[in-house]
């Protein structure tokens, strides 16, 4: 059954409404508070299904990283700044809540996954629920015909790799990724150039992926599945990609890590995350993509948006406001 989010408490609703009012926007504006997300997850509601025209979209909850506050997390903001942004959105300030949602598109009789999750907790021990969510949603991993990879960070690709052996989890699925992303990580000498904390990731990528025969590298912006276009959104990584889903007159932008955590980057789009390899370029891509989403009045989802990860953006002066929705 599709997920129904639990009702917000009066305090949580008031927080969301106050956030909306502070931006001068409609009272419909909200971000699902952490308590509501936790309640939904603990109730076993790990998936949510909605439609984009004739395409069925299933959001799968892979868990959450309860990241300790770190002054280096946002390069141009303090921990106090990030806590204030979380509080204004009605989210916990005890830690940085970074949920992880994976999307599966049912296009005709084909199943196309966007990214692969964290691989049963290989990224974070509290984020490893994808297999359970797929089972609950009635999705057979063997029927996934293609996996569209946004970028090669662990929370997006470790689900492709068996723990310990690096064997492919989806050996029969085509793995589609920007050629820019793939070639950057495969460049000779790349591992040695990476920051110390990224070297193990680079080594794993270079050890596993070159031997796989199921990669398709995409140059530029092209259709990568029926009704799905790769959209270049570099900065977070050199070849970071979003995916535009179109069916009839309906559209959904699968933004992946372009807008990262909306509670932070909607009101502060010029904040640079520590995981953005090119901060200024990430900001440029973020603004370009969000302006497009707003201009075309389309839905948007993101890997680290509050579960179920779908909603819409509106302009607020030189910044943005995010409305979560159950489509």
**Residue 30's closest CA among 21, 39, 40, 20?**
20
Bond into 308 cis (ω within 30): yes
Q: Which of the pair, 52 or 327, is modelled with greater confidence?
A: 52
Q: Is 2 inside any structural domain?
A: no
What's the rounded mean pLDDT across residues 315-327?
Answer: 85
- Taking only Cα atoms into account, the Rg of the chain, rounded to an integer number of angstroms, comes to 19
**Closest to 150 measured CA to CA, from 170, 119, 173, 178:** 178
3-state SS class at 102: strand
Q: Does 188 map to a domain?
A: yes
The domain that holds 227 is classified in CATH as: 3.60.15.10
Distance CA 298, CA 253 (A): 7
For 232, which DSSP code?
E
Report residue 79 CA to chain centroid gap. 22
Counting DSSP H helices and E strands in the chain, the numbers are: 10, 14
pLDDT given at position 18: 36
Q: How far apart are CA 67 and CA 155, in angstroms?
A: 14
pLDDT tens-place string over residues 86-110: 999 999 999 999 999 999 999 999 9
Return the H-helix or E-strand segment holding 324. Answer: strand 319-324
Q: Would you tell me how many other CB atoms lie within 10 Å of the CB of residue 269?
A: 17
pLDDT at 326: 54
Confidence of residue 45 (pLDDT cuts 50, 70, 90): confident
Question: In the structure encoding, which two tokens stand for residue 216, read together?
Answer: 């398709």
Which is more confident, 293 or 15?
293
List the beta bridge partners of residue 64.
99
What is the extent of the structural domain holding 295? 10-324
Joined tokens for residue 116: 């692969």
Residue 60 falls within a domain, yes or no?
A: yes
C-alpha to C-alpha distance for 292 and 298, rounded to whole angstroms: 9
CA distance linking residue 240 with residue 216, whole number of Å: 15
**Mind listing the pLDDT tens digit for each residue in 70-84?**
999 999 999 999 999
Q: What is the pLDDT of residues 12-44, one digit of tens each?
A: 333 333 333 333 333 333 344 444 444 344 345
pLDDT tens-digit profile of 223-255? Answer: 999 999 999 999 999 999 999 999 999 999 999
Quick check: is 242 in a domain? yes
pTM for this prediction: 0.87
pLDDT in tens, 162-175: 999 999 999 889 99
Predicted pLDDT at 324: 85
Chain-wide mean pLDDT for the chain? 88
Is residue 259, in this structure, part of any structural domain at all? yes
Consecutive H or E run containing 145: strand 144-149
d(CA 235, CA 241): 10
Q: Would you give the distance in Å from CA 37 to the centre of its chain? A: 16
Residue 217 scores a pLDDT above 90: yes
Residues forming a β-bridge with 324:
311
Establish if 21 belongs to a structural domain. yes
Other Cβ atoms closer than 10 A to 202:
19
* pLDDT tens column, 97-153: 999 999 999 999 999 999 999 999 999 999 999 999 999 999 999 999 999 999 999
Which H or E run includes 106? strand 96-107
Which residues, in sequence order, are CB contacts of 81 under 8 Å at separation 6+?
74, 268
Number of folded domains in the chain? Answer: 1
Task: Tell me the pLDDT tens digit for each residue of 179-212.
Answer: 999 999 999 999 999 999 999 999 999 999 999 9
Asked if the model's pLDDT at residue 57 lies above 80, the reply is yes
Q: Is residue 203 in some structural domain?
A: yes
DSSP 3-state of 198:
helix
Backbone region of residue 227 per phi and psi (left: phi > 0; alpha: psi in -120 to 50; beta: other values) = left
CA angle 96-301-112, nearest 5°? 120
């Amino acid at each position: 059954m599709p997920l129904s989010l639990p009702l917000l408490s009066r305090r949580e609703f008031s927080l969301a409404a106050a956030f909306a009012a502070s931006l001068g926007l409609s009272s419909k504006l909200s971000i699902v508070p952490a308590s509501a997300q936790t309640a939904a997850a603990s109730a076993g509601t790990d998936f949510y299904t909605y439609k984009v025209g004739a395409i069925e979209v299933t959001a799968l909850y892979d868990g959450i990283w309860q990241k300790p506050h770190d002054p280096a997390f946002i390069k141009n903001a303090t921990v106090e700044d990030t806590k204030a942004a979380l509080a204004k959105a009605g989210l916990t300030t005890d830690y940085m809540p970074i949920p992880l949602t994976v999307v599966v598109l049912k296009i005709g009789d084909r199943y196309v996954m966007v990214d692969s999750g964290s691989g049963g907790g290989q990224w974070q021990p509290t984020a490893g629920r994808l297999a359970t969510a797929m089972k609950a949603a009635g999705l057979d991993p063997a029927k996934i015909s293609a996996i569209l990879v946004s970028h090669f960070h662990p929370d997006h690709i470790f689900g492709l790799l068996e723990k310990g052996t690096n064997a492919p989890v989806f050996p029969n699925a085509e793995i589609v990724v920007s050629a820019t992303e793939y070639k950057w990580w495969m460049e000779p000498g790349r591992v040695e150039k990476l920051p110390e904390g990224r070297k193990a990731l680079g080594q794993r990528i270079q050890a596993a992926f070159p031997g796989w025969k199921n990669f398709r590298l995409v140059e530029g912006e092209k259709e990568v599945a029926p009704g799905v276009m790769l959209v270049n959104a570099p900065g977070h990584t050199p070849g970071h990609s979003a995916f535009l889903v179109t069916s009839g007159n309906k559209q959904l932008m699968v933004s992946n890590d372009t807008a990262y955590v909306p509670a932070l980057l909607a009101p502060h789009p010029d904040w640079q995350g520590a995981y953005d390899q090119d901060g200024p370029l990430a900001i440029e891509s973020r603004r370009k993509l969000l302006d497009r989403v707003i201009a075309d009045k389309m839905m948007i989802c993101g890997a680290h948006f509050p579960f179920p990860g779908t909603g819409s953006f509106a302009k607020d002066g030189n910044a943005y406001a995010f409305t979560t929705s159950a489509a």
